[in-house]
Amino acid sequence: MKKLIEFEIQNTFNRYEKLQKPLRIILAMTVRNEVEYGKHIYMQLENAVKLDYDEIVILDDGSTDGTWDVLKEYASKYNHLRIKRNEVNSVIAKGENRWITLIKECAKYYPTWLHFRACDQLHSKAFNNNMRDIVSYFHEQGGWLIRIPLAHLWRSEGWLRFDNVWYSDFVNHSRSQLWRFYKDYKYKKHRHKAALHLGGHLPNVASPYSVTPTFNINSFDRSRTKEGYWRFIVLHYGHTTHEKKEVKFRLTMDAAKNGVSVGCPPPEEMPHPQYWMHYNGYKGFYEFNVVLNKTSQEWFDKEINFDVPQFKSFYNVIAEYRVDRAKEYQALYNKYKEEIPHYV
């Protein structure tokens, strides 16, 4: 079965490749309510239009905060920026999977490669300066997926999170962000309610991609990776500001003032600290121990501030709403922290 799939892939690609001279690279993104959560949408668009993409295709999946207006403004200035809108969020409307809608839209522009990334993700200077050479290299190597290491910037561009709650393990923590476009693959096996963000990559990779050659982007420049230094990095900006986490956190905490809710569950519902580190989408943002490493200045075109950021503890944030609950959590943490050192 595997050989049959591989044969079908190659035959399809041989037919399709005749239309793909020269190599066409399309940046593909889904967005929703990005204006509400900070400046990432502006950073993303300013970066994207400067890079050597043949087309940029962005799907707005039912934004209600002005994101669509920002997209229209940029599309009016840049002819290769293509935008499409779902009037209602696809999950709420139970409509077509947003990823399938996005890929169908990209297919109109004859892509050779699709580059998926999230709105709060940018790339290192080395990637930006070599993007087309990188894709061309792996295309010639017969690659179908290119994985890129992911660094979680933490409160600033100068620091990244490097512990076991959120981590930046450049060997294992990478994302399949560059995909060779397979025209006849129906892309129907990706779950409908897949996270909009999900690291900027398609969720639930199914065949035929599961049997195609996958490369790590850093094999493009082995001389540097041997030194333990990774030039080509996805920079995740989602935790450089508080906006998105604070909005979600405070909405649920306001609903939690009467006691039990997702925002402020009772201790008996969370017997171990790892549970409350994952609650409500603010995983690892307010916890007791954080390990940071400096980023590399070489990742950026500008000078980076390496001042150590200030943190709010999980205890102090919860205490703003429920001092009694915060004390209970603190006691639980003290009790279990030695038993689960991989979480602290």
In DSSP notation, 169-221 reads: -TTT-EEEEEEE--TT-----S-TT--S-GGGS-SS--TTGGGS-EEEGGGGG
Q: Whole domain around residue 327: which residue ranges?
A: 242-343
Question: In terms of domains, do 51 and 179 share one?
Answer: yes
| Of 334 and 14, the one with more pLDDT | 334
Query: Which one of 180, 205, 238 terminates a domain?
Result: 238
Do 154 and 34 fall into the same domain? yes
Task: Give the up-direction half-sphere exposure of residue 225: CA atoms within 13 A in the CB hemisphere.
Answer: 13
* Alpha helix ranges (H) inside the chain: 2-17, 40-48, 67-75, 90-93, 98-107, 125-140, 222-225, 243-254, 273-277, 314-319, 323-336
Q: What type of residue is 182?
A: Y
pLDDT score at 185: 62
**pLDDT tens digits for range 5-43:** 454 555 555 545 544 558 999 999 999 888 877 788 999
Look at the chain and report how many structural domains it folds into: 2
Measured between alpha carbons, how far is 243 from 39 in angstroms, rounded to an integer? 10
Are 154 and 261 found together in one domain? no
Give the tens place of pLDDT for each residue, 118-133: 898 999 999 999 999 9
According to the model, what pLDDT value does residue 197 have? 44
Say if residues 190 and 97 touch (Cβ distance below 8 Å): yes
Of 175, 209, 238, the last residue of a domain is: 238
- My answer on whether 170 and 276 are in the same domain is no
What distance in Å separates the CA atoms of residue 115 and residue 148, rounded to the nearest whole number? 11
Q: Which of 275, 277, 249 is nearest to 263 (CA)?
A: 249
The answer to whether 239 and 161 have CB atoms below 8 angstroms apart is yes
> Is 272's pLDDT higher than 70?
no
Query: In which residue are the tokens 């295709």 written?
Result: 57
The span from the CA of 99 to the CA of 28, in Å, is 10
Contact criterion met (CB below 8 Å) for 161 and 167? yes
Mean pLDDT calculated for residue range 167-184: 77
User: Are both 251 and 181 inside the same structural domain?
Assistant: no
Q: What is the pTM of this model?
A: 0.78
Q: In the structure, what pLDDT confidence band is assigned to residue 105 with cuts at 50, 70 and 90?
A: very high
Task: Look at residue 295 and give its three-state secondary structure.
Answer: coil
DSSP H helices, 18-59, are: 40-48
Q: 304 versus 39: which is more confidently predicted?
A: 304
| Higher per-residue pLDDT: 252 or 144 | 144
Q: Are residues 14 and 99 in the same domain?
A: yes
Residues 102 and 197 in one domain: yes
Last-in-domain residue among 206, 238, 270: 238
- 215 in the same domain as 92: yes
Same-domain check for residues 249 and 213: no
50-86 confidence digits (pLDDT tens): 999 999 999 999 898 899 999 999 999 999 999 999 9
The CATH number that applies at residue 204 is: 3.90.550
Examine the domain organization and report whether 10 and 143 are in the same domain: yes
57 and 127 in a single domain? The answer is yes
- Indicate whether 64 and 196 sit together in one domain: yes
